[in-house]
Amino acid sequence: MANSNGWGDGSANNAIGWGQGANNAVSWGSSHATSLSGLTNIVGGVPLDVDASAFITAAAITDATQQTAIDTLVTGLKTDGLWTKMKAIYPFVGGTATSHKFNLKDPRDLDAAFRLVFNGGWTHSSTGALPNGTNAYADTKVINNINLTDKQSHFSAYLRTLNVGLGWFGYYNGNSVFGLQQNAAVSNIGVGTNNLSAYIATPSIGYYIGSTNITTGNVYKNGASAYNVTGINIVTQNLNFYLGGLNVNGTPNFYDTHQYAMSTLGDSLNATDAGKLNTRVQAFQTTLSRQV
């Protein structure tokens, strides 16, 4: 006898089946299984943020802990009003050159999406991306004064190792530097002209943020103010921002040996923004067991 609401195998005679869902108007089979496939749509039964999901798919992140860390980072940045201030976010998660190249903000494999182009010798692992200090650099394809607001932008980098040489990352046009140089002796964070760079007496690993706002420059280390200057005169030039080396008027130079575990580029950040960004990034690193 046919059932109007079947509790059996969900066969053709049932209007609502609880089994295989072969001919059912409502079934409990394939749609649920698809959602859980590869953990790309649901982690622990909670739907992922759409931007986090897009990055996870592009970078082929299959580890559940990494997926959760990415999702939490994205939702946190949105909650704090920081997501819209970002042009590029490189979380260096997944452990390979392929996974490390993608921009969390726009995970398309295109120059226009600011995915990294690695050059020279890099070592990629679960703790980040490490350049060799001799010929390695990564071109972000983010161009000052075109993709970043002129004189109102920021960079950040989570550094797990000290540079052993004189290497920098960022860009330099002969008058202005926007980036960081750090070794065992000195940390020189340039947010303006050459002679108004920041010198920190005791270099250390951690999370650095450099930000400019018209005529001021600020540097934050692990969320706290480390240096600030006023009256700077940034000389504008359209140069790509590099990681692992300094873009000197279009030519890579001054290669470094920092291991990168996060980097961002975007709009200018104030002290409150820097504190919130630090909190989110530190939590991300802690979840991945690679905090310093």
Both 8 and 55 in a single domain?
A: no
Q: Does pLDDT of 108 surpass 80?
A: yes
Both 19 and 79 in a single domain?
A: no
Q: What is the CATH number of the domain that holds 85?
A: 2.60.120.200
Both 134 and 33 in a single domain?
A: no
Give the total number of structural domains in the chain: 2
Count of CB atoms situated within 10 Å of the CB of 67: 23
Both 83 and 6 in a single domain?
A: no
pLDDT per residue as tens digits for the range 115-129: 999 999 999 999 999
Both 148 and 11 in a single domain?
A: no
- 68: in domain: yes
Q: What is the mean pLDDT of residues 204-228?
A: 87
Both 94 and 28 in a single domain?
A: no
Q: What is the mean pLDDT of residues 272-276?
A: 98
Q: Which one, of 155, 109, 176, lies nearest residue 258 by Cα?
A: 155
Both 56 and 5 in a single domain?
A: no
- 292: in domain: no
Pairing of strands 216-221, 128-131: unpaired
pLDDT per residue as tens digits for the range 37-84: 344 454 555 689 999 999 999 999 999 999 999 999 999 999 999 999
Both 7 and 123 in a single domain?
A: no
Instruction: Say if residues 151 and 234 touch (Cβ distance below 8 Å).
Output: yes
Both 16 and 105 in a single domain?
A: no
Instruction: Say if residues 213 and 152 touch (Cβ distance below 8 Å).
Output: yes
Q: What percent of the chain has pLDDT over 90?
A: 58
pTM score: 0.83
- What distance in Å separates the CA atoms of residue 277 and residue 79, rounded to the nearest whole number? 11
Q: What's the pLDDT at 236?
A: 67
CA 292 to centroid of chain Cα atoms: 17
Q: What's the pLDDT at 17?
A: 40
Q: What is the mean pLDDT of residues 236-260?
A: 93
Q: What's the pLDDT at 31?
A: 37
- What distance in Å separates the CA atoms of residue 292 and residue 42, rounded to the nearest whole number? 30
- 180: in domain: yes
- 246: in domain: yes
Range of the domain at 16: 1-39
Instruction: Say if residues 172 and 260 touch (Cβ distance below 8 Å).
Output: no
Q: What's the pLDDT at 198?
A: 53
Both 139 and 232 in a single domain?
A: yes
- 52: in domain: yes
Both 120 and 16 in a single domain?
A: no
Both 169 and 79 in a single domain?
A: yes
